[in-house]
Amino acid sequence: MQPVLNYLDANDKRFIGELCDYLRFPSISAQTAHHGDLRRCADWLVAHCRSIGLRARRNATTGQPVVTASTPRRKGRPHFLIYGHYDVQPPDPLDQWQTPPFEPAIRKGAIFARGATDNKGQHFAHLKAVEAYHKTGTELPCDLTFVIEGEEEVGSEALMGFLRRQKRTLACDAVVISDTGMPSKKHPALTYALRGVAALEVTVRGPKADLHSGIYGGSVDNPALVLSQMLAQLRDKRGRIAVPGFYDKVEPLTAHERRQFKRLPYSESGYKRLLGVPALYGEKGYTPVEQRSARPTLEINGLTSGYQGEGSKTIVPAEASAKITCRLVPGQSPREVIRLLKKRLRQLCPPTVRLRLEDGHGADPYLVSPTSPRAEAALGALRSAFGYEPVILREGGSIPIVTEFKKILGADSLLLGLALPDDNLHSPNEKFDLDCLRGGARMSAHLWPMLAAC
Ligand code: BES
Ligand code: ZN
């Protein structure tokens, strides 16, 4: 192990430079204009994997290419997958970035760029660990296959088909994923649950075109007001989602789990400061830690209607629309939640407008035991790499493919996230702390012998 760790230390500078190269690709999966960049990014990744001794290829799918890279397969050895995604979120709003999102910059011990933590930097740490094994001639006690996809941020649909087709080659003992967070550098974490997600776009249409609000206003309904009133009724005074049936299948938190949550580092003032809000808000009867990781929610992600330009424009807009997502917890399913939400919206919609409801992506919630032998091994690797006692936690974000790994390959996922709370995932000025890159690579190095021994 020591030569592997020494190699990681000795090559630190070069690793940072390579990660910057990877971060220069604007691989934004949500935007068609960037699909060429996704392909070029996948090609860079394939070449990089080959340069560190892996057998790598770019696999065509029904959507963005999936990059696979593996060590030689040997009979009788355990086989683990390492999952990651090379696609990133759109960088907007651009004017809020201190340095451009696709021109990586090093400041305050971190790399700033879109995708730095989510997720290029995190799976890059694993690539470097495997490189260190290879280049120091240290034998890996298990076989490894990287599966790095290009559409996690839009629902991972193509990867699901790919998993089904490649079920045999991807058969494995477990999946290792670094695409979640840790409370601080002193609290490395194993995540044992993720929320699911269900997306819906709501549009209400009134007149056939925007109308003069002086000439016609008062005699026709206003789609923006109608939609606002409908949306406002989706939440009650206690911060609960007012959609009949929404909570019916939610599995309640156990007293034991609630006690565990209380042990996580948390301060209300620090949390408020981190987010820049004057006061917190959430479902009554639950702590903020529970609200953001273990309770279901409904959020408006985008709201559009009428004139958005400079100055004013007196119109009754022809339509209004909202992008909505719900976060789901164990017991809930995206399909059922979307069905209930659509039913409620139809009830709330007055006859003065036409309603259009369009389903988006969905992902099931995930929950796995944090006390299995493999979970213990993962905790051991975190402890050795970061030098602090790791915590176990539930995360509020979603990784759609984890439940498919379970369904299609029968494999559990070990979620070993390297993102810090202030890393600005999906926000301007996303960053990846260099200590997390280093700790992540060391964690990966320690992990394989510990996992292979389970
Ligand atoms: N890395 C995140 C998920 C995440 C972040 C989980 C932090 C836990 C803690 C991932 O890239 C992500 O953003 N997923 C999307 C999935 C959605 C688009 C289907 C999400 O959660 O919004
Ligand atoms: Zn993300």
Ligand 1 centroid vs 247 CA: distance in angstroms?
22
Q: What is d(CA 401, CA 148) in angstroms, rounded to the nearest whole number?
A: 11
Q: What is d(CA 336, CA 325) in angstroms, rounded to the nearest whole number?
A: 13
Torsion sign, CA atoms 381, 385, 388, 390 = negative
Q: Ligand 1 pocket: which of 29, 159, 399, 424 to mutate (most atoms <8 Å of CB)?
A: 399
Ligand 2 centroid vs 118 CA: distance in angstroms?
5
Q: Which fold has domain 196-250+296-363?
A: Alpha-Beta Plaits (3.30.70)
Q: Which ligand is nearest to the CA of 292?
A: 1
Task: Indicate which residue's Cα is closest to atom 20 of ligand 1.
Answer: 398
Task: Indicate which residue's Cα is closest to atom 19 of ligand 1.
Answer: 155
- DSSP bridge pairs for 323: 201, 302
pLDDT on residue 207: 98
Domain ranges of the chain: 2-194+365-452, 196-250+296-363, 251-291
Q: Do domains 2-194+365-452 and 196-250+296-363 have the same CATH topology?
A: no
Ligand 1 centroid vs 393 CA: distance in angstroms?
15
pLDDT on residue 45: 98
pLDDT on residue 426: 96
Q: How, if at all, do strands 66-70 and 366-367 pair?
A: unpaired
Beta-carbon-side half-sphere exposure of residue 338 (alpha carbons within 13 Å): 21
Take residue 205 and report the two structure tokens written for it.
Answer: 């249409």
N- to C-terminal Cα distance for the chain?
Answer: 18
Take residue 281 and report the two structure tokens written for it.
Answer: 């808000």
Torsion sign, CA atoms 42, 47, 51, 54 = positive
Ligand 2 centroid vs 117 CA: distance in angstroms?
9
Q: Where does ligand 1 bind, in terms of residues with CB under 6 Å?
A: 118-119, 152-153, 155, 179-181, 194, 197, 361, 363, 395, 397-400, 419, 425
- DSSP bridge pairs for 222: none
Question: Rounded to two decimals, what is the model's pTM?
Answer: 0.94
Closest approach atom of ligand 1 to CA 419: 7
Within 10 angstroms of residue 198's Cβ, the number of other Cβ atoms is 28
Could you tell me where the DSSP H helices lie in 136-267? 157-165, 223-232, 255-262
Could you read off the pLDDT tens digit of each residue along the chain, which spans 454 residues?
Answer: 999 999 999 999 999 999 999 999 999 999 999 999 999 999 999 999 999 999 999 999 999 999 999 999 999 999 999 999 999 999 999 999 999 999 999 999 999 999 999 999 999 999 999 999 999 999 999 999 999 999 999 989 999 999 999 999 999 999 999 999 999 999 999 999 999 999 999 999 999 999 999 999 999 999 999 999 999 999 999 999 999 999 999 999 999 999 999 999 999 999 999 999 999 999 999 999 999 999 999 999 999 999 999 999 999 999 999 999 999 999 999 999 999 999 999 999 999 999 999 999 999 999 999 999 999 999 999 999 999 999 999 999 999 999 999 999 999 999 999 999 999 999 999 999 999 999 999 999 999 999 999 9
Q: Which ligand is nearest to the CA of 326?
A: 1
Closest approach atom of ligand 1 to CA 154: 18
Total H helices, total E strands in the chain? 13, 18
- Give the closest residue to 289 by CA, choosing from 379, 375, 391, 217: 391
Closest approach atom of ligand 1 to CA 400: 19
Q: Ligand 1 pocket: which of 31, 120, 153, 415 to mutate (most atoms <8 Å of CB)?
A: 153
| Sheet of strand 319-328, all strands in order from the earlier edge strand to the far edge | 297-305, 319-328, 196-205, 354-363
Ligand 1 centroid vs 197 CA: distance in angstroms?
9
pLDDT on residue 280: 98
Right CATH for 2-194+365-452 from 3.40.630.10, 3.40.440.10, 3.30.420.40, 3.90.1170.50: 3.40.630.10
Q: Locate the DSSP E strands across 98-137.
A: 105-107, 110-112
Take residue 117 and report the two structure tokens written for it.
Answer: 């933590």
pLDDT on residue 18: 98
Ligand 1 centroid vs 155 CA: distance in angstroms?
10
pLDDT on residue 105: 98
- DSSP class of residue 208 equals S
Q: What is the largest CA-CA distance in the chain?
A: 80
Q: How far is CA 122 from the centre of its chain?
A: 12
Cα-based angle 380, 386, 391 (whole degrees, multiple of 5): 60
C-beta separation of 135 from 7 below 8 A: yes
pLDDT on residue 454: 92
Closest approach atom of ligand 1 to CA 179: 1
Take residue 447 and report the two structure tokens written for it.
Answer: 């992990």
Q: Which ligand is nearest to the CA of 430?
A: 2
pLDDT on residue 134: 97
Ligand 2 centroid vs 137 CA: distance in angstroms?
35
pLDDT on residue 215: 98
Closest approach atom of ligand 1 to CA 153: 18
Within 10 angstroms of residue 414's Cβ, the number of other Cβ atoms is 25
Q: Which ligand is nearest to the CA of 179?
A: 1
Ligand 1 centroid vs 179 CA: distance in angstroms?
8
Take residue 141 and report the two structure tokens written for it.
Answer: 């006690």
pLDDT on residue 119: 98
Q: Which ligand is nearest to the CA of 85?
A: 1
Ligand 2 centroid vs 41 CA: distance in angstroms?
17
